[in-house]
Amino acid sequence: MNRLVTIGEASKALGISISTLRRWQEKGKILPVLTKGGHRRYDLAKLMPHEFHHTEANERTTLAYARVSSHDQKADLERQKQVLELYCAQNGWTFQMVSDLGSGMNYHKKGLRHLLNAILAGKVGRLVITHKDRLLRFGAELVFAICEAKNVEVVILNKGEDASFEEDLAKDLLEIITVFSARLYGSRSRKNQKILDACKKAVEENR
């Protein structure tokens, strides 16, 4: 078999991201073929995914990360874990599950801190999440930039809108309002409580 394919087709055949394929190329694990027109192509007959995955797995681990905002979403957290476990198992990846129960606005969650420390320590080769905003409501791009700098492959299973997006966003907004109104009026003041009650009512009416 001698079939030359594009970098996108090669990454799909190997089940890896294009950035990972380019990294392997830089390390000399894969050598592209130059066409007469000067385009880079990859010979599928010379691609050895099992050897590459074995090398990557021995060096660094795969982290699967799941998060929900509150205790009443525990069922959703378990669903996320099941989806991540199934995906990693189907790809033959040995992985570690990390999860958080807390707001997407909270940058100090235990699981997130563990994830970032492991990435910065060079112990992670792949990060798997169900949706982009499972990491953080704002700032996920910074985590992705750190992953790129540390040569960590990021796998996002669903790049569409998260089914729980609106509910999570409402909870995050309530958290912001709670903090600022408490600072303005005091956490135990009547005015603060009225503002919070009105916001909670508005959220409930729009669900």
Q: Determine whether 187 is an active site residue.
A: no
Q: Are the C-beta atoms of residues 21 and 53 closer than 8 Å to each other?
A: no
List b or e across 93-122, with b for residues whose CB sees 16 or more CB atoms inside 10 angstroms: bebebbbbbbbbbeeebebbeebbebbeee
Q: 69, 99, 103, 181: which one is catalytic?
A: 69
Element (H, E) at 95: strand 95-101
Quick count: other Cβ atoms within 10 Å of Cβ 57?
16
Measured in degrees and rounded to the nearest 5, phi and psi for residue 62 equal: -100, 130
Q: Concatenate the DSSP letters of all residues of 33-63 into one string.
A: EE-TTS-EEEEGGG--HHHHHHHHHHHSEEE
Q: Residue 24: which of 156, 153, 157 has the closest Cα?
A: 153
State the burial class of residue 183 (Cβ atoms within 10 Å of its Cβ: 0-12, 13-18, 19+): exposed
Closest to 153 in 3D by CA, of 50, 14, 6: 14
Catalytic sites, residue numbers:
69
